[in-house]
Structure 1
Amino acid sequence: MERTVQNSADEQHPGSVSVSSSTKKGGWVTFPFMIATITGISLAFGGLVSNLIVYLIQEFNIKSIRAAKIYNVFNGFATILPVAFAIIADSFLGCYSVIWFSSLISSLGLLLIVLTAAFNKLRPPHCETGSNLCSDPSHVQLAVLYIGLALAALGMAGTRFTVGPMGAYQLDKPKHQTIFFNWYIFAMYISTAISSTVILYVEESVSWAWGFGICLAANIFGLAIFLAGSGLYRRLKPEGSPFVVLARVIVAAIKKRHMKLSLKPEDYCQGPDAADSKEDKDIIPSKFFRFLNRAALKAEGDIKADYSIRPWRLCKVQDVEDLKGLIKILPLWSTGFFLSTPLVMQTSLTVLQALVMDRHFGSTKVSIPAGSIWVSSLISTCITVFLLDRFLYPLWDKYTRRPIKPLQRVGIGHVIDIISMAALALVEAKRLKIVRQHHLQDQDNAIVPMSAFWLVVPFAIAGIGEAFFFPAQVAFYFQEFPTSLKSTSTAFVALYMGIAYYISNGVIDLVRRTTGWLPDDINKGRLDNVYWLVCILASINFCYFLVCASLYKYRDPEKDTDDISD
């Protein structure tokens, strides 16, 4: 599967690059362009999303719980769509076109949001937060806001998780690609941390228009840097969607559902066409999901006059095994829903907590934005990833001579994730105790004399958990997904994170319909019980994960040496 870049117009497929020509595209010269691109995009995304709930409440008079749900919808939209963009990039347009076009879309969305902040006519009249006299935004005002958010989410979904694989494809050796991914994640987290503090401070202390304007400028900066390196990039040629190939396996198996399976390898299609009968002649489809084996079983009418196969009637054995491998992964992938849900609820509901807590630095007049509390999670993740990569994992390998497997690291992340939610429930219980002691539940959205920095501890614990499971999830899916789906594998991590946002909304709706735990004024509710509920759900999910992980068998890495060798 090796190809050679012959000129600047040549393009290559992921995982098939082996180039010695000095005139080839790509290489480390593209590294600063890719890192600068993801930095600009992450600054824009972090500055918008981190303070979105506060903006909706304070500037659009939207009730707190509804604002949290809008926040979840926005994030869900931005993290589910990367899978669609990955498929489009692999199948039709290529990563380069998807990135620059998506950046234009997100810039347009951010421009609309800047306009809502700059012009009073695009917002309802200002009033005190929580007042019953506040006017609701008009249909036009909401339309401009929602269109801006939708375009921003759409564009950022097409860039944040597409820059990563394109940057990795510029490098030939897997160890160099690993280094790139480390810096890619580091740049994404650090940029988000900066935007969630500096830009949020500008939004709340200077003006929302200036804050969102900086987000727009950062997004345009990322796009400009990306386009500036256009002549250096190794661009990937779209070679058709692998999902079409997998769909053919299902269709072919259904068409041949009445055929009897054979134990002879020569009865199965081994190569890309019927004439290919020498290579891998001894391969027989595995017994797992034996029904699918019929897709590779040769039958009359499967071969055309020119000896090529009819793709919707006959498939390669490897295509059948790829689909089976994907099916094996799905149960484990589904455990990510409630692994991410606690983190999602933390980032939305804790903003509501911070808004009614003391956010001053000690006795000073300096107050931190409510949306900046979760930055402690980002910092904790970065520090923990560094310590794990440089010290803890190497020491473990040295003394046990057995590296920690990805699923083991994910399991550790599960446990720490549950602990962080329990810590958050305890902090909220303490806050509500102070509310009752001072009879603040009789006032609307009263500020509780308790430091918001108590929320830093649960977030720091959550960051440690994320350092375990997030890189491990990416490594696991990249290793275990079929070769044809390597580019899409990392987007599947974003997919279940996006679904978690909608699960979070479902949990919120269920709690509001059945209990009184989540009123718009959380001083009058029992948010701690909501956190305990999520702890229970996450614990059940962890047991489900243990069952799936214990039954899962890793792919044999020796079979993939062509894809991972230097």
Structure 2
Amino acid sequence: MSIGVGGIRSSSIAFGADQLKSGRDNLNRDGILRSYFSWYYVSASLSAIISVTCIVYIQDKLGWRVGFGVPCMLMLLSAVLFFVASPFYVKLKAKESLLTGFAQVVAASYKNRHIELSSQATNEYYHYKKGAEFVKPTETLRFLNRACIIRNPQQDLGPEGRASDPWSICTIDQVEELKSLIKVIPLWSSGIMLCVTLGQSSIAVLQATTMDRHITPSFQIPAGSFNFFMIFTITIWITLYDRMIIPATSKIVGKPTYLGLKQRMGTGLIFSSASMASLAIIETIRRKRATEEGFSDDPQGVVKMSAMWLLAYHILSGLAEAFNVIG
């Protein structure tokens, strides 16, 4: 199941974005992709709402076998639907391995480490493909530029202009791709802390089991269903932001107006910090109540404290994910 999820989660959202690239001009592509990513998470969130309500209820009432059997059948149905619709999909073929290209750039730049770099070098000084985006490498991370320097055209290049040894000389595009990866690592690493904070949701489930979860005298929310509030927050915020806030602000300003990606990611990190702070405060109060009521050595004891206090954590976590993850 982990292998399957690893394939689906890393590929499905990018595969969906590929469907929007074919046969379209690039004038409104950024706006289309922004909307797509938002509504992808809305649809995923709606599915998750069903899972933390209906599926959790089935597990509580009918047991784990049926509880796991229902998602298993749904996964089988999704696989069938995917292959039935396969003829209609846009399928971009991989031209070459990016990882191999990265390794070649590192190897070539190391082999050519003694070559002096010149900012006055002409285009003929570097190896590039015809029709490539770059005909000269950028000045950032300049030490990698050694990988695409032509030292001896007769030895380094073949008759068709290709590298005779791709581990000794690379194209400018390969170098720039590696630079792009290196430059995005700090931005990517900022999401590690968000994953840590959102990964604490199991603690909130344990907290909910020891708190009063009753809505009415005869009905109480299952502890595993409290994630509903986080997912519901994601869905509501994305809908409001995409359908109301952006159109309204754009109309007022007179041009397309929206939060930048870094602003969204930063706002999400602030909300994730606030969510953990709220969880810590609630846990401090809950533990104090448990001690006062004599449940210090009874993990099954239910304290006289409403589990609705946990909504602060779930709502803030939902906003954190809606801002950061989509950005």
TM, length-normalised to structure 1:
0.52
Q: In structure 2, do the counterparts of structure 1 residues 285 and 236 end up closer, same or farther at CA, with 3 Å as the change threshold?
A: closer
The aligned counterpart of 2:125 is 268
SS of residue matched to 1:385:
helix
Is residue 2:260 matched to residue 1:408? no
Q: Is the 8 A contact 2:237 2:319 kept in 1?
A: yes
Q: Which of the residues 146, 170, 175 maps onto 2:19?
A: 170
Pair 1:444–1:280, CA change in 2 (3 A): closer
Q: Per the alignment, in what secondary structure is the counterpart of residue 7 of structure 2?
A: helix
Q: Tell me whether 1:323 sits opposite 2:323 in the alignment.
A: no
Pairwise CA distance, 1:267: 4.2
The amino acid that maps onto 2:318 is: G
Once residues 216 and 283 of structure 2 are traced to their aligned partners in structure 1, the CA distance between those partners, rounded to angstroms, is: 20
Q: Deviations over 1:465-524 (max 9, x none)?
A: 22111211xxxxxxxxxxxxxxxxxxxxxxxxxxxxxxxxxxxxxxxxxxxxxxxxxxxx
Aligned residue-pair number: 314
Q: Are the counterparts in 2 of residues 431 and 450 from structure 1 also a CA contact under 8 Å?
A: yes
Aligned twin of 2:138 = 286
Q: CA deviation at 1:280?
A: 7.1
Are the structure 2 counterparts of residues 216 and 432 from structure 1 closer, same or farther at C-alpha, using a change threshold of 3 Å?
same
Where does structure 2 lack aligned partners over 5 or more consecutive residues? none
Residues 440 and 302 of structure 1: CA distance in aligned 2, closer, same or farther (over 3 Å)? same
Deviations 1:522-542 (A, max 9, x none): xxxxxxxxxxxxxxxxxxxxx
| Cα distance change, pair 331–170 in 1 and its aligned pair in 2 (3 A) | closer
Deviates more, 1:170-179 or 1:209-218: 170-179
- 1:217 and 2:73 are equivalent in the alignment: yes
Matches within 5 A, 1:497-512: none
Aligned equivalents of 2:113, 2:160: Cα separation in 1: 26
Counterpart contact for 1:295–1:314, Cα < 8 Å? yes
Read off the aligned partner of 1:455 and give its amino acid letter. Answer: L
Q: Select the residue among 183, 188, 205 that pairs with 1:351.
A: 205
Matched residue type, 1:266: N
Q: Deviations over 1:392-414 (max 9, x none)?
A: 23344445555421101111111
Confirm or deny: 8 A CA contact 1:270 1:318 kept in the other structure. no
Q: Call closer, same or farther: CA 1:260–1:242 in 2, change over 3 Å.
A: same
1:284-309 C-alpha deviation (Å, 9 max, x unpaired):
32332221111111012211245421
Tell me, what secondary structure is at the counterpart of 1:471? coil
Name whichever of 318-327 and 220-229 sits farther off: 318-327
Corresponding letter in the other structure for 1:236: L
Deviation by residue 1:103-122 (Cα, 9 ceiling, x = unmatched): xxxxxxxxxxxxxxxxxxxx
Q: Does 1:205 align with 2:61?
A: yes
Distance 1:158 1:184 in 2: 17
C-alpha deviation, 1:192, in angstroms: 1.0
Mapped to 1, the partners of 2:303 and 2:168 lie a distance apart of 68
Map 1:366-445 onto structure 2 (within 5 A).
Answer: 366-399=219-252, 403-445=258-300
1:67-87 Cα distance to aligned partner (Å, 9 max, x none): xxxxxxxxxxxxxxxxxxxxx
Partner of 2:312: 457
SS of corresponding position for 1:383: helix
Whole-angstrom CA distance in 2 between matches of 1:180 and 1:408: 19
Query: AA paired with 1:292?
Result: L
Look up the equivalent residue of 1:330 and give its one-letter code. Answer: I
Q: Structure 1 410/396 Cα, relative in aligned 2: closer, same or farther at 3 Å?
A: farther
Cα distance in structure 2, aligned partners of 1:312 and 1:450: 65
Is 1:295 aligned to residue 147 of structure 2?
Answer: yes
1:327-350 per-residue CA deviation (whole Å, 9 max, x = no partner) reads: 1221222111112211111x1211
Distance in 2 of aligned mates of 1:280 and 1:163: 28
Counterpart-to-counterpart distance in 2, 1:439 and 1:343: 31
Identify which range, 309-318 or 174-183, moves more after superposition: 174-183
Cα distance between partner residues in 1 of 2:17 and 2:265 = 23
- Quickly say closer, same or farther: Cα 1:296–1:422, change in 2 above 3 A: same
Contact 2:233 2:319 in 1 (8 A): yes
Q: 1:87-145 CA distances to partner (integer Å, 9 max, x unpaired)?
A: xxxxxxxxxxxxxxxxxxxxxxxxxxxxxxxxxxxxxxxxxxxxxxxxxxxxxxxxxxx
Q: Determine the C-alpha separation between the residues in 2 that align with 1:158 and 1:419.
A: 32
Mapping of residues 244-263 of structure 1, within 5 Å = 244-262=100-118, 263=120
Identity %: 33
Q: CA RMSD in A?
A: 2.3
Distance 2:290 2:133 in 1: 71
Does the 8 Å contact 1:197/1:372 carry over to 2? yes
Contact 1:267–1:297 (CA under 8 A) maintained in structure 2: no
Q: Distance in 2 between matches of 1:305 and 1:240?
A: 21
CA contact (8 A) 2:147 2:169 kept: yes
SS of structure 1 residue aligned to 2:52: helix
Residue matched to 1:158: 7
Give the residue type in structure 1 aligned to 2:247. Answer: P
